[in-house]
Amino acid sequence: MIDVMDHVNYDTFMQKFLPVPSPTDTQRQQFVLFKEKSVRSTEEFDAYPALCESIQSALDAAAAASPNSTHLLIRDTASWPDTHDVTSRPDLSIYPTLPHVLESITLTKKDTKDKKTADGARGPYIARTRWPFLASTVEVKSKASESAFIFNPQNPEEFLRRTDDGLKALGQLVEHPMLMFARQHLTYVFSVSTFQQYARIVRWDRSGAIATDAFDFCGQNSYKLLDFFFRLGCMSDEQRGYDPTAVLASDTELVQLEQARGAFSAVQRRLYDEMMAEGRRPIYKITVRAEDLIPPERLRPAGGASQTTSSSVVSPPNAGQGIRSFLVGKERFASGSAVGRGTKGYVAFDLLERRFVFLKDSWRTGARAEHTVYESLWRANVTHIATPISGGDVYSGNVAQKTSNHECGEGFPIRTHYRLIVREVGRPLEDYKDAAYLVKYIYDAMTAHQEAWESAGILHRDVSGENILIYEPQTDADPSSEEPLAFLNDWDLCKSRQEMNKISQDHIHSGTWQFMSALLLTNPAKKHELSDDLESFVHVLYWLSLKYHEHSWTGEPAALRIHMFRYFDDRIRRTTDSRYHGGDYKLVTMKSGEPLCTLQGNAPFQSFLRSLAKLCQAHYAYVEATRPPRAEDTKPLKKEDLTDIPQWSFVRRFPRKESSTSASVSTGPPPAYTPFESHEAIIVAFEEVIPTLPTWPKGKTEDQWASFTTYGRGHIDDYGSATGSRSKRSSQESASQRAKKARRENGDETTTSAGTPLPPIDERAR
């Protein structure tokens, strides 16, 4: 995170980011000025009443000066977390004075059993944290060592406190905008951090955070902080960061939803319940421009022939005329980072077709828009992919919504708000019934992957457990409902063959860390190739085997946790290139020819995993044989080194043009063969066992990782670093620049995540 934080002087910040007039002298007379004695308390709680009183006076003055703006109020929420969400809560929270918000944040008598608090100085301001309604936050610190920032107005260049306590405080501070972005439809967020009589104002968007220099809000500059809150109170909702294309659903639209509910299938009723979240989340209407709708002709293969039922999970719908509107409620998943792509996913109700669809919201860089990838895949007749309904950048009027921190600070990428809506609402892969279903679902995803590569020249580059989804028909009349199907999702990180040929060795990878190949993790400078994606499918199987099937570590959670972390998460950030390196244990496993775990009670599944492990072993033997020779080892790989690879027959379930590469591992030049040079060998491994799947043992265990409460998944984006509290950097940065920055920020020390919780994944929890 520290890589995408900067600071500017107060006047520059206010001029750029708060485009409303400053208060007049007459308006300032309504302010209750801060008193240094009141805010310089040794206990943070003691400072809350004075801060609330003064800030509220500025917000009230703004309401009088700008009656068309939504009135704001400040509340002390430090002791009352959101009962429907995480336990994290801001010290002070700014809310809009809307009836449903006031009802939601008001404390009950049960909440205020502590009479000392309720009847004391804090009493008039206490309220509950409600992340779906927060407009801004104030973080209060009474000890300098516990603050993320350095507050020294005499030396503006001092910015972040890079101590252990300071970085911990930064992680807590970042969590607030992260949760606001996740729970609301926001383009940016303001927050305030104080230490005694000093403050910084911070603006967060998906490119990073930019703060004011520290200032004294009790001395000669006593109006600075109150001027900020006055101007915040005078701004429109859009100026405060609310997305104007997402508005609260009207009563009429909610009635439409309820009327449709009477005809819902069982699947649709479940999707409805997920979206409504028992009334704990407001329902928004998201409007899509007519030009973003995708007509059926853009999805037709060359020649105009319609696709078969195996080409996509459903046929393309007829595009409606004009704008389309969709209702959304609780997010199905949301980024665990305040910066980056910030992907969120929603089960959405299509008001035109009166059915559920899936809406993906993200902030992209200059990469290809994902809906254009889907159009290419459909035209190439690729199977087992979703059906795009609309896709495009999000506009406020005639202007695309973009991050703007780069206009004021250094090192910020430009991100553009983007939405994709697809017809299918998939279920998480982890919902599979048993190992047989799991193998079939991954085979479906691999089919999509192969066809995309061979027919469209597109490589997915982010194969993960979250990007393989189970297709679930919404009506019994769906022609695909008889066979379990899955589809490969999230093509936003894909690249074409031509793009991959242009990628330099110094390119920074994108993907989900836990499922990336051992070669990519141990050598971040390596180009991402087809073989890396194929290996990722194996890691998905290993991931779910450890989680939902009996194995040698079942019943030993401590040992399982260590094993899981070593294989999937261990990493170190090297200051030589400022990149994350890892995968050592994964590399050893790949070379061993044995699966990651020994399953118990499912011999067919164990045998299948072993066959995949042998393919991985052969691939890594090839890598060893073809890398530049070392003095101690120049012996090339020989054909007999591959004798453990089983020789399978080749029976394809979905007709497809034959590859020029033989599926048999026994053919081809012995020194230059890898079973991962094409899809054939691994596809054959799946097709060999698919006829036997009905005979495999049924069932799976409960989640064996449920007790790993600190566990998260780390995603690597185009800036080459993990999301969450980990840092990001521009892909344009040279290796020397990255190394210089790393030495400056990390004291030229490496850090490792071994045995520590990873930041939450930003993109991938479906």
pLDDT of residue 648: 28
pLDDT of residue 481: 52
**Separation of alpha carbons 514 and 523, rounded Å:** 15
Does the pLDDT value for residue 699 go beyond 80?
A: yes
pLDDT digits (tens, 9 = 90+) for 163-185: 999 999 999 999 999 999 999 99
Lowest mean pLDDT among 210-214, 217-221, 279-283: 217-221
Residues pairing with 364 in the sheet: 416
Residues pairing with 49 in the sheet: none
Residues 6+ positions from 548 with CB-CB distance below 8 Å: 430, 700, 701, 702, 703, 704
Lowest mean pLDDT among 152-161, 411-420, 657-666: 657-666
Residue type, 102: L
Phi, psi of 417 (to 5 degrees): -70, 135
Residue type, 148: A
pLDDT-derived band at 511, boundaries 50, 70, 90: confident
Residue type, 752: T
pLDDT of residue 480: 53
Residues 6+ positions from 163 with CB-CB distance below 8 Å: 145
Q: Quote the distance between the C-alpha of residue 139 and its chain's center.
A: 25
pLDDT of residue 602: 97
pTM for the whole thing? 0.85
pLDDT of residue 727: 29
Residues pairing with 137 in the sheet: 93, 191
pLDDT digits (tens, 9 = 90+) for 234-278: 999 999 999 999 999 999 999 999 999 999 999 999 999 999 998
pLDDT of residue 632: 39
pLDDT digits (tens, 9 = 90+) for 630-664: 443 444 434 333 333 233 222 333 333 333 333 33
pLDDT of residue 666: 42
pLDDT digits (tens, 9 = 90+) for 299-348: 988 665 544 434 455 455 554 457 899 999 999 999 989 999 999 999 99
Does the pLDDT value for residue 395 go beyond 70?
A: yes
Mean pLDDT within 512-536: 94
Higher confidence at residue 466 or residue 758? 466
End-to-end Cα distance, the chain = 24
pLDDT of residue 629: 54
**Separation of alpha carbons 144 and 166, rounded Å:** 9
Mean pLDDT within 17-37: 95
Task: Quickly count: other Cβ atoms within 10 Å of residue 628's Cβ.
Answer: 5
Residue 549 CB-half CA count within 13 A: 28
Phi, psi of 212 (to 5 degrees): -75, 160
Q: What is the DSSP letter of 242?
A: B
Residue type, 280: R
Does the pLDDT value for residue 756 go beyond 60?
A: no
Mean pLDDT within 219-231: 89
pLDDT digits (tens, 9 = 90+) for 344-361: 999 999 999 999 999 999
pLDDT of residue 752: 30
Q: For 518-576, what is the HEC assignment?
A: HHHHHCCCCCCCHHHHHHHHHHHHHHHHHHHCCECCCCCHHHHHHHHHHHHCCEEEECC
**Separation of alpha carbons 20 and 552, rounded Å:** 64
Residue type, 750: T
Whole-number percent of the chain with pLDDT over 70: 81
pLDDT of residue 731: 28
pLDDT digits (tens, 9 = 90+) for 448-457: 999 999 999 9
Q: What is the DSSP letter of 41?
A: -
**Separation of alpha carbons 224 and 199, rounded Å:** 9
Task: Characterize 547-572 residue by residue with b for buried, 16 or more Cβ atoms within 10 angstroms of its Cβ, and e for exposed.
Answer: bbbbbebbeeeeebbebbbbbbbbbe
Mean pLDDT within 575-599: 90
Tokens of 332: 């199905």
Q: Which residue from 569, 567, 566, 596 is spatially nearest to 580, judged by alpha carbons?
A: 569
CA torsion angle for 623, 546, 463, 595 (degrees, to 10)?
Answer: 20
Mean pLDDT within 402-413: 89
pLDDT of residue 227: 98
Residues in the chain: 766
3-class secondary-structure state, position 285: strand
Helices (H), 662-704: 680-689
Q: What is the DSSP letter of 149?
A: B
Q: Which residue from 380, 345, 346, 386 is spatially nearest to 487, judged by alpha carbons?
A: 386
Looking only at Cα atoms, what is the longest distance across the chain? 90
Residues 6+ positions from 241 with CB-CB distance below 8 Å: 186, 187, 188, 189, 190
pLDDT-derived band at 734, boundaries 50, 70, 90: very low
Does the pLDDT value for residue 671 go beyond 70?
A: no
Residues pairing with 599 in the sheet: 551
Q: For residue 279, with 0-12 CB atoms within 10 Å meaning exposed, 13-18 middle and 19 or more buried, which class applies?
A: exposed
Residues pairing with 286 in the sheet: 246, 326
pLDDT of residue 42: 83
pLDDT-derived band at 119, boundaries 50, 70, 90: confident
Average pLDDT of the residues of the chain: 84
3-class secondary-structure state, position 55: helix
Q: What is the DSSP letter of 142?
A: S
Q: At what angle do helices 603-626 and 584-592 cross, to 10 degrees?
A: 100
pLDDT of residue 221: 67
Tokens of 133: 């309604």
In 147-217, where do the E strands start and end?
189-195, 198-205, 208-212, 215-216
**Separation of alpha carbons 562 and 557, rounded Å:** 9
pLDDT digits (tens, 9 = 90+) for 42-94: 889 999 999 999 999 999 999 999 999 999 999 999 999 999 888 899 999 99
**Separation of alpha carbons 312 and 450, rounded Å:** 14
Task: Quickly count: other Cβ atoms within 10 Å of residue 656's Cβ.
Answer: 16
Whole-number percent of the chain with pLDDT over 90: 70
**Separation of alpha carbons 649 and 644, rounded Å:** 16
| Cα distances (angstroms) measured from residue 697 to each of 278, 543, 694 | 37, 19, 8
Phi, psi of 173 (to 5 degrees): -65, -45
DSSP string, 736-757: HHHHHHHHHHHTT--EE-TTSP
pLDDT-derived band at 611, boundaries 50, 70, 90: very high
